[in-house]
Amino acid sequence: MAIDAADMTWLNPPARTETRGGSLVVASGDKTDFWQGTYYGFHRDNGHFLSKRRRGDFTAEVTFIGHYSELYDQAGLMVRHDATHWMKCGIEYTDGARHFSVVVTTGHSDWSAFRLDHDFERMSVRVTRNGDALFIQYRTDRMAEWRMARLAYFNPAYEEVSVGPAFCSPQRQGFEAEFLEFSLTDALSRDIH
């Protein structure tokens, strides 16, 4: 479903936004990121995040295109309780290639990533929250089925969270992304296989 930013809220509004035929085209500010401490030692909470509030279990999906060229350019989906308790997933550009990346932050951030070697234009991400878990899946416009990327713990005490598209450019400004679709519904299923 097309993105309706009118009923959503920006955390750190980006340098530029434009609506084109139901898609949201955005450009990042300078050196934006979401990260808390681990390995690098810095704490950043200035990435761009457009969200809706949601209680309980849900399934969120976003489809997007990114114009990745610089180290750590990234776009995808975020589930956020506060500045130190969140998950972001999507494409991150590292080692000269697009990787599917998941960062889970519970006071400190972790990072898992794997390289996507096939060619594609559009990426879709699906996150289903069930109780204490986030089930993270992805597919590209060259894949028919959803693939599992991670099953992550997320504190069930954080009953209400913000959910939506997110993007950052830790090394520069002007990273452009296009968010084509976003949906937030009741949880689809507890099935993993």
pTM over 0.95: yes
Strands 58-66 and 176-185: antiparallel
Q: Measuring CA to CA, how many Å separate 100 from each of 54, 113, 114?
A: 25, 5, 5
- Give the tens place of pLDDT for each residue, 135-192: 999 999 999 999 999 999 999 999 999 999 999 999 999 999 999 999 999 999 878 7
Structural domains in the chain, CATH included, are: 5-185 (2.60.120.200)
- Give the tens place of pLDDT for each residue, 42-61: 999 999 999 999 999 999 99
- In sign, the C-alpha dihedral spanning 85, 48, 148, 55 is positive
